Structure 1
């Protein structure tokens, strides 16, 4: 097993996740089995209960883990499902060590950060790598070098070089080189200090990657190599590009993949980067463009919908098009909606929690239904479409979700029975991969390539479902239930997984989050169909 450890310095949010994913993509393009994992120094057990405005979206793995959004980038760039245990947090590590101490597993030992905490960190890293059956494991250490909460993790990866050997470990440090317009020069001092801080923890980087607005001149990279004791040719410029899918190409052009091969003593291989080259070509010179309105409540924080935006990009690229995002704050959707959607080719209502902006989302769904605008509802967005249809077509006045109005006369959306006794919040929803039985003769069947019906798998993250007591009444009013959870026939129609409308260009809602499984090389079928319908509207 080869290990690459990615650390960051100077400031947070430099893009370690993209750097990790891009390096993984370069190694995957050479044919290696690669996995990646993220270390988050916060004490939370997982990302499930954290604010989207602070940490962005919660990404859900196939096994049902609620993780940092960087895990989604890993899966998209590496085109693989990362195994469980690929998002390690301080909370997980300490919880395990304390539980073992209480069980007497440490006998009479004094339990300390070294060796007990660091040993647990190393155990988790090794287990995740082995579970993925990978040849190369890339480990991203969250936070910034110098943060007190990162120290145990830095010590653990320092020890791993001692354990695994120099030839099997590589340290990559990502820092910032700011450009001062007043003096017209790049400033390397922050990078020098950052590397010095890392070296004070016993780690000397083998590669330095520098974030900057533009590609650094050669004299600057040579200066950084000299003052950070990095070999010449091992300083790489991670400069701003229009789209993140250009990053692997920019790094490969500078020779990053070759340097990693040399460090590990691997055979030189010419990488197949056609997926990334094709994506960048379409993004830069699309044949068509499409405008998609996203009616949500986290519109000031695009990272709250990161996987969804990427899935739309994948679908657009597959259609030789570029997607333009129109952010619509659902709380402001009142009165005449034409002004919000006049140039819109498709409306998407994403997932979410809480009552804020709900009525605006319902108005958006109604506008799409009545005006023949392609509509895609994801998780809550599907529930919104059901509520709107129940109110304005099925004659269920005041219909709502029990989440928003527990006293409504018509709870067309209600808690799953198994959720009624749940008291905690973290990790208690319906999570991970679940099967969906797609109905024959439905649009959904066409999208998934099973026109005669069949079972597909998508990921979930929710507590509420369409109330089975209302399914037949909704179907009688014309709502098509195109997907259900199989094996649930004992409960009437089963749990509703997807709905759609006939005699509409495209009106589809899914209880799942298909965006989590979308990849640049394999776009999600519902998103691809949605973009195709939106492009038709734009003709």
Structure 2
């Protein structure tokens, strides 16, 4: 039976609850325990799939097709445990489930209320597969005091009371602001945050305090006294140069030991931190540097491409180089020549996205990489734009376009090289979609197989001819243009098992030019870099004049 750790936050948002949860999961693994991490989000969207990247950052997709919060990406990258649909839930999903049950009559005419019906639904979610692991870590989104989070806080209060004594632990993450004028580290915001938490029936066992520098012993003792925790359960979380320093930093602070002490696990198994020591060594001791241009449309918010940024870092670790990524707005290239912006980079990456804005700029970036022989990785929309560029400039289809941008009535006729995906095979079933279907949860989502062409670059990169990768798209390259494009050197080197859906394209006479319909960044980890990113950075390193 699992022990439960509930991670809450206070004072301000974006303190790093997700990273703290992921790092703690990694430390418990290092001591030989099995873990699973979950995210409970208070927003009313059913999932983040229809939320703007500017609002919520990237959408992380699981193997079983769930569109989830980006924190699940941190969980996977730090623990290697593949996330599932059952590892992410929002208020919207909880209320939707409750209302569906009410409509079916499952409540037998009862008046539906937050307590007990909503809180019971939350508790049922927390309990899913609880016997599979030693520790279940559940992060509650938002901050204590948020009105929308109250049902979740009440649910975990009830949950902890229903479990045997000593089976649940509460970890609260707060901020210790430094007032430069007085030279003081202030504990009062944390005291008030804990007071708010206690007012709803929850008492933290461990305090994790974000600060710019060390926490003096005097302040630790003050926090322990006024927040009613043990002094050794006040954990400093200082700013770090890399998020991958977090497991070692938290271990030095005694976080994992504090958790085991709270659960009275003694003697505590010794941790094997060699994996994270190797990761830290690769981060801090690079043997060179490469510069990668990321030409996207959500570049104002780096969290919109969080997994891509991390996967590039992992590729750098695999090659012992530091990767410097520059974010370039694709719209610039719709007005200006991309050459001055791109000529000094060692490689170019064009990520996914939705909508027409910036797409012509992405096409120009693909053309620059193809004609200048610069290593290129196109992901999802980045692959589609590379295909459209090749169709226009190599296969004489000057009006090549995508139904995503050009299907509206009144637009000029065009050649739909990219079309709306109407049906595909998922397992033993055929999935069908219409252009006017609801937007949420209707894409080709989750893990699908692909077959790679013998002798292709991607088969060499993967070291296999059959792979499985995660998808999130509703438009697809039309296979009927394959012959025309392959005659001009754009090789369709990866296909769905039924041969109907292009998964990977590559340029034959190019040092490294690959486009993929899926999202390889979602499966990359610091201790297991994705082969595509590792080889992409290898090619960038060979192209670099700085190494």
Same fold judged by TM-score > 0.5?
yes
8 A contact 1:480–1:502 mirrored in 2: yes
| Cα drift, residue 337 of structure 1 | 2.2
1:416 matched residue in structure 2: 421
1:434 matched residue in structure 2: 448
**Structure 1, 407-416 or 171-180: larger mean CA deviation:** 407-416
Distance (whole Å) between structure 1 residues aligned to residue 254 and residue 46 of structure 2: 38
8 A contact 1:5–1:141 mirrored in 2: yes
1:102 matched residue in structure 2: 103
- 1:155 correspondence with 2:154: yes
Distance (whole Å) between structure 2 residues aligned to residue 103 and residue 281 of structure 1: 57
**Structure 1, 110-119 or 51-60: larger mean CA deviation:** 110-119
| Cα drift, residue 128 of structure 1 | 5.0
2:170 matched residue in structure 1: 171
- Normalised to the residue count of structure 1, the TM-score between the two structures is 0.96
**Aligned ranges for residues 202-281 of structure 1 at < 5 Å?**
202-266=201-265, 267-281=267-281
- 1:338 correspondence with 2:339: yes
Q: What SS is found at the alignment partner of 1:459?
A: strand
1:313 matched residue in structure 2: 313
Q: Which whole-Å deviations, capped at 9, do the CAs of 1:422-449 have from their partners, x for residues lacking one?
A: 5100000000000010110000001101
8 A contact 2:504–2:517 mirrored in 1: yes
Q: What SS is found at the alignment partner of 2:218?
A: helix
**Structure 1, 330-339 or 67-76: larger mean CA deviation:** 330-339
Q: 2:530 aligns with which of 518, 524, 529?
A: 524
Q: What SS is found at the alignment partner of 2:50?
A: coil
| Cα drift, residue 180 of structure 1 | 0.5
| Cα drift, residue 161 of structure 1 | 1.2
Distance (whole Å) between structure 1 residues aligned to residue 245 and residue 446 of structure 2: 30
8 A contact 2:489–2:509 mirrored in 1: no
Structure 2: runs of 5 or more not aligned: 424-432
Distance (whole Å) between structure 2 residues aligned to residue 392 and residue 207 of structure 1: 61
2:282 matched residue in structure 1: 282
| Cα drift, residue 192 of structure 1 | 0.2
2:192 matched residue in structure 1: 193
Q: Which whole-Å deviations, capped at 9, do the CAs of 1:132-189 have from their partners, x for residues lacking one?
A: x221100000011001111110011111111113311100000111000010101110
Distance (whole Å) between structure 2 residues aligned to residue 409 and residue 234 of structure 1: 64
8 A contact 1:458–1:513 mirrored in 2: yes
Q: What SS is found at the alignment partner of 1:85?
A: helix
Aligned alpha-carbon RMSD (Å): 1.2
Q: Closer, same or farther in 2 for the Cα pair 1:369/1:389, shift >3 Å?
A: same
Distance (whole Å) between structure 1 residues aligned to residue 372 and residue 317 of structure 2: 27
Q: What SS is found at the alignment partner of 1:470?
A: helix
1:6 matched residue in structure 2: 7
Q: 1:463 aligns with which of 467, 471, 474?
A: 474
Distance (whole Å) between structure 2 residues aligned to residue 129 and residue 507 of structure 1: 45
Distance (whole Å) between structure 1 residues aligned to residue 61 and residue 413 of structure 2: 31
Distance (whole Å) between structure 2 residues aligned to residue 433 and residue 26 of structure 1: 28
8 A contact 1:315–1:531 mirrored in 2: yes
Distance (whole Å) between structure 2 residues aligned to residue 18 and residue 422 of structure 1: 38
2:428 matched residue in structure 1: none
Distance (whole Å) between structure 2 residues aligned to residue 104 and residue 432 of structure 1: 32
8 A contact 2:279–2:527 mirrored in 1: no
Q: 1:503 aligns with which of 501, 509, 515?
A: 509
Q: What SS is found at the alignment partner of 1:166?
A: coil
**Aligned ranges for residues 336-415 of structure 1 at < 5 Å?**
336-406=337-407, 407-415=412-420
Distance (whole Å) between structure 2 residues aligned to residue 440 and residue 129 of structure 1: 43
1:491 matched residue in structure 2: none
8 A contact 2:330–2:359 mirrored in 1: yes
1:38 matched residue in structure 2: 39
Q: What SS is found at the alignment partner of 1:233?
A: helix
**Structure 1, 190-199 or 266-275: larger mean CA deviation:** 266-275
Distance (whole Å) between structure 2 residues aligned to residue 219 and residue 505 of structure 1: 59
Q: What SS is found at the alignment partner of 2:166?
A: helix
Q: Which whole-Å deviations, capped at 9, do the CAs of 1:21-65 have from their partners, x for residues lacking one?
A: 111110111121100000000111101001111110000000000
Distance (whole Å) between structure 2 residues aligned to residue 276 and residue 138 of structure 1: 20
| Cα drift, residue 250 of structure 1 | 0.7
| Cα drift, residue 88 of structure 1 | 1.1
Q: Which whole-Å deviations, capped at 9, do the CAs of 1:300-323 have from their partners, x for residues lacking one?
A: 100000011111111110111110
8 A contact 1:400–1:408 mirrored in 2: no
| Cα drift, residue 283 of structure 1 | 1.8
8 A contact 1:399–1:408 mirrored in 2: no
Q: What SS is found at the alignment partner of 1:48?
A: helix
| Cα drift, residue 234 of structure 1 | 0.3
| Cα drift, residue 335 of structure 1 | 3.5
Distance (whole Å) between structure 2 residues aligned to residue 82 and residue 166 of structure 1: 28
| Cα drift, residue 208 of structure 1 | 0.4
8 A contact 2:420–2:435 mirrored in 1: no
Q: Which whole-Å deviations, capped at 9, do the CAs of 1:235-268 have from their partners, x for residues lacking one?
A: 0011100111111111100111111112223241
| Cα drift, residue 421 of structure 1 | 5.0
Q: 1:445 aligns with which of 438, 443, 459?
A: 459
Structure 1: runs of 5 or more not aligned: 489-493
Q: Closer, same or farther in 2 for the Cα pair 1:129/1:88, shift >3 Å?
A: farther
8 A contact 1:35–1:129 mirrored in 2: no
After TM superposition, where is structure 1 displaced by more than 4 Å over at least 4 residues in a row?
A: none
2:48 matched residue in structure 1: 47
| Cα drift, residue 342 of structure 1 | 2.6
Q: 1:473 aligns with which of 469, 484, 488?
A: 484
Q: Which whole-Å deviations, capped at 9, do the CAs of 1:57-87 have from their partners, x for residues lacking one?
A: 0000000000000011111111010222211
**Structure 1, 114-123 or 191-200: larger mean CA deviation:** 114-123
Distance (whole Å) between structure 2 residues aligned to residue 178 and residue 391 of structure 1: 56
